[in-house]
Amino acid sequence: MPADHNPRVSIIIPSYNTANLIAGCLDSVFAQTFRDFEAIVVNDGSPDTAQLEEVLRPYQERIVYIRQENKRVAGARNTAIRQSKGEFLAFLDSDDTWLPYHLASQIELFEQNPQLDLVYCDGVVVSDFAPEVSWMKRCPSRGEPNFEALVMERCQVSISTVVARKAAIVKAGLFDESLVRCDDYDMWLRTAFFGAKFAYRTTSQVRFYLGRPDSLGQSRARMAEAYCGILEKAAKNLPLNSKQRELVLGRATEIKARYLVEEGKVQLRQGRPDKARELFAQANRLKPQLKVSIMLHTLQLAPWSAGSLVAAWSRLRPARKL
């Protein structure tokens, strides 16, 4: 590629403790049938830098490599965006991989509809501890993917499937580097609010790697807590109309109740039934639910059996990678 050529797509790849996985990620990038791209790898202050740079050595002529102090994943993405030259940004986590036709398929959507600003698709979740499953089977997208649909989670976007116009991401203000979790969800909310048009494919074009979490229950609780905080932030910072504000705050209340339930289950597993009962009661005041009422009743009458009830309940809700 000539030095003065601006690629059509800039691929954004943050890396932190993924030296053992990033070669597979990059191999999937360079196997793309669509070739007009640059690949930007950001070493976000990773403790495995020596190993990472050794793995990257065979790719060094084909990638833009940036090394920085740790700014978390949002900061790594922003660094790459600021240096990117493409009209479009394609996001790829360094532990995920693309199928060879992914970029060509997503760019085709923009060519078919020049009004689009962001497109995403389905993928397969690959886990160390569960069978492979379609992302959209767990997290379906239904109907038009607009701001309301994102708030209500009728449409859920996984970042490694996203190709977006750089102008739309810049207009929304880039990723919020203050967020510890779910900075991508916050980004899509703001992008949609500021007028970006979304579309999606239901074809599976990405493989997501989900390593074994330290605690599935704690992961669910932290995720719900982050979602609630992002919705409250949107209500505070975005110039919402009255209908949008009611929608966002109502959804934030629902998600806060979800967080309290998940945290209550964590407390129960850790042998703190009194704390669990307090959290379940708070959740039920925010959003009454039959399952939570049953749990409260069980904790009151037979606290020794509540753990079995939580285990059965949790098996109905597999963990998600967002």
pLDDT digits (tens, 9 = 90+) for 10-45: 999 999 999 999 999 999 999 999 999 999 999 999
Residue of 140, 93, 145, 151 lying closest to 116 (CA atoms) = 145
End-to-end alpha carbon distance in the chain: 34
pLDDT tier for residue 290 given thresholds of 50, 70 and 90: low
Q: Taking Cα atoms as reference points, which of 199, 187, 176 lies closest to residue 118?
A: 199
**How far apart are the C-alpha atoms of 11 and 320, rounded to whole Å?**
24
Give me the chain's average pLDDT, please: 88
| Residues linked to residue 210 through DSSP beta bridges, in sequence order | 127
Q: Encode pLDDT of 173-209 as tens digits.
A: 999 999 988 999 999 999 999 999 999 999 999 999 8
Counting residues of the chain whose pLDDT is more than 90, the rounded percentage is 68
- Domain span(s) for CATH 3.90.550.10 in the chain: 9-210
The per-residue DSSP string of 141-182 comes to --S--SHHHHHTTSS---GGG-EEEHHHHHHHTS--TT-SS-
DSSP state of 270: T
Best CATH choice for the domain 9-210 from the list 3.40.190.10, 3.10.28.10, 3.90.550.10, 3.50.40.10:
3.90.550.10
